[in-house]
Structure 1
């Protein structure tokens, strides 16, 4: 049976290659030409793409997991694109009104697949985010032998294989642009009995990984990175993982979660000390699936050797995606918007706390919890905002929402100061530098600091932003943040390179237009 499956996979890959090579055009999209079964098997085995990309043939998986774009080039440094270039055009003015539900939480979606795969039994997931990042995690576990049905309208069925039931993948596991996938899987795979390699796109391959690999190696993990401490990550079976007591030098939910996942396979207790609270979805979901997690102040511990038991998981709406609409409604006169069923985990509500401190008219209507996660409808109306010094304790609680908050700061009266946010410099882009560049292009002054930024608000102006073009630098949160700037602009704003939005928020432009943003999409 195994030989037959391997033969089928080999034939699938040959078929993909045949379709590419026979194409007469320099660039050809194979969308619709490759059967879903063929593409899924090829996509989940990224070593096939890695091999082809080492030649003059450029091949990249698309964000829909159902298509692939190939191009030929005599220049080995040629840009590889998984889709046509997409840009947003925003007409000035408008307000946001009505009721919206943004897609499911990305962080929780990742963890739902990972932990359901390791559980005993079948897990039904509702509200799963069908974005490229979380789909990369899903594809990786399929490649390791886990039966996963879906996603279909946010529903996924995972047949768990137990703590030691994962199978060796045939090739490297492709993480796309997902730092969460790569860092959390690095810990989880350190405890497996087989070797794996994790690879990513060009952006992810530049992001630092030693913050995860260094403490994992102290546990006995065997991980190789590049000389720069970046992907690809080559993970060999550890002779033995031993629990450690690790004080994190910088607050990071990804580092914490990676170590806790490795700790499930370690001898003894693994404890992580947080210098400041970070998102705790991993701990909550472990407990939901029956694994004991002990918290003592800033210290979070697990003991290896336990089991996970399947249980239903419902993913709330993502507060990081809601953040763009919260800022848009706060800055646009006449706005009155309700965002439904948003996760308000206490480790994620920095965006709410900071907007309130700036003077936002924001109310919370609690709803029944979804599993271990608190949920609410968030009501927000436009209000006069004031610049503030952002409290240091709020920084890790809003680390992904700062690009949107920078737009709010530009629309506030007075100066807004952010410090203690050096983590922003190693995200999908250097979000401090990139946001400062975009703000300057639209007429807003700021000063870049080593660990933050100072923004001079123009809240007294009817039109805060000039028109112009802004580049997202292949960062989804940059693109969506500047889209909201159009609500207080004097002229149209064009945002370049926006296909990356699909990593976290498929359908963003459609939902934003429904709320009242004058947004259109163009491809070129």
Structure 2
């Protein structure tokens, strides 16, 4: 069998043949309040991606349970299998991965396709830069348009031999692996991914690596490294990682806070929002749950019930309801914005039904995502008749209840698909949504979440 066929057979055994989200749906009028009110969100994509890559570097066999099934995690696993890492399905969404030394990666003249996954591509660049690999990392058209300089340049400062094959600061990038030195590098963007990449690189370098940063962002990588025995020190402005091989680990991936945020937003947009919705076993890391803080500021009642866990992340049940109409709010400050960066389109969608203006600031990072999410969010809101304006670093949404357009062509961005679901629910009428298949990037089952509240017909 070829590497490709072996790879696809392993992934099929792990997840099945894969849920194919329809690309076009018709959304009907909301049903009477009868939606299920006790739900477990899908597994956390960000932790699944980081954990599978960390396991490939560990000093033994790791077991990861409740792995997220989505395009981005599949891209991770395909890359690891192509590199010769031993990946074995051991149950539904459960996998064993046996780590190997950097010198043992099978990567001579290999091209690794990260698909649309920025996390996969940036972390692979960091890991393979310090290995013996001779390979190229690329992605689809959307990913090749996204900035990579914030990873490439710091890695070069540590001694990495990286060559952009087309446009400066973009994929594809050729890697000639070499031992990385320690030192201090700077991340000049408000994003967790470059920091995570440099922490992975630093754990395999010859000396400690100090990463200075502009903003405190999600810290899944730091937590996983410490939990597996790699020393990571942190201050407000910097992180220092010491070289070390991770210990083998057994990890239960918690529920995805972004998936929980979608369910909460749909519930708050539905006629039965006064009832309590319980979201089970959700990752409760405060650097990922800013959306719930924002919803509280809009008048939603949200209770957090901590649960016992032996993993690196806090876990809790979240109980959500709206005792009255939502209110406009202001979202600002790097820490809050970073903790809700993926959910800001959802917040903007809900803001159309609030009783006052909503202002989102300090979110210029949105312009460098799968799409320019400031521009695409504004366009989506206007498709539904909402009144919204872009600013240099965010957007302003005026209260105006959405109306149902006959058809909306969605951008190729899963976060905008989720916002469109909320707008379709709020508008209360018949709407066709085209481009829904982008949801599979992070959550192939998102259409089923929408169908809890409204009739959905695949077209």
TM-score range, shorter chain: over 0.9
Match of 2:27 in 1: 90
Task: Specify which of 355, 374, 387 is matched with residue 328 of structure 2.
Answer: 387
> Is the 8 Å Cα contact of residues 384 and 423 (structure 2) preserved in structure 1?
no
What SS is found at the alignment partner of 1:386?
coil
CA offset digits 1:325-376 (Å, max 9, x no partner):
1111123231331111110111111101111111112111111135010111
More RCO (CA 8 Å, sep 6+): 2
Would you say 1:128 and 2:97 are equivalent positions?
no
What SS is found at the alignment partner of 2:159?
coil
Shift of 1:395: 0.7
What SS is found at the alignment partner of 1:89?
strand
Match of 1:37 in 2: 6
Distance 1:38 1:114 in 2: 16
What SS is found at the alignment partner of 2:308?
strand
Match of 2:434 in 1: 496
Distance 2:411 2:138 in 1: 20
Task: Specify which of 271, 275, 278 is matched with residue 338 of structure 1.
Answer: 278
The residue correspondences of 1:13-32 to structure 2 (distance < 5 A) are: none
Distance 1:220 1:133 in 2: 28
Task: Specify which of 159, 162, 175 is matched with residue 223 of structure 1.
Answer: 162
Kindly report the root-mean-square deviation, in angstroms, between the aligned alpha carbons of the 2 structures. 2.3
Shift of 1:147: 1.1
Shift of 1:466: 2.8
The residue correspondences of 1:1-400 to structure 2 (distance < 5 A) are: 8-9=1-2, 37=6, 39=8, 86-94=23-31, 95=33, 96-150=35-89, 152-168=91-107, 171-225=110-164, 226-238=166-178, 240-304=179-243, 306-335=244-273, 336-382=276-322, 383-392=324-333, 393-400=335-342
Distance 1:477 1:407 in 2: 11
The gaps in structure 1 that reach 5 residues or longer are 1-7, 14-35, 44-63, 68-82
Shift of 1:40: 5.2
Match of 2:455 in 1: 518
What SS is found at the alignment partner of 1:247?
strand
Q: How many corresponding residue pairs?
A: 450
More displaced stretch, 137-146 vs 241-250: 241-250
What SS is found at the alignment partner of 1:376?
strand
Shift of 1:317: 0.6
Greater Rg by CA = 1
Task: Specify which of 344, 361, 386 is matched with residue 419 of structure 1.
Answer: 361
TM-score normalised to structure 1 length: 0.81
CA offset digits 1:109-151 (Å, max 9, x no partner):
0011101111111111111001110110011111111111127
Distance 1:358 1:204 in 2: 34
Distance 2:21 2:446 in 1: 17
Distance 1:85 1:103 in 2: 18
The gaps in structure 2 that reach 5 residues or longer are none
Shift of 1:152: 4.4
Distance 1:66 1:316 in 2: 23
Query: For the structure 1 residues 319 and 370, does the alpha-carbon distance in structure 2 shift closer, same or farther, using more than 3 Å as the test?
Result: farther
Distance 1:373 1:169 in 2: 36
Distance 2:265 2:455 in 1: 16
Distance 1:65 1:434 in 2: 33
CA offset digits 1:426-473 (Å, max 9, x no partner):
111111111111111111011111211111122xx5xx3333322221
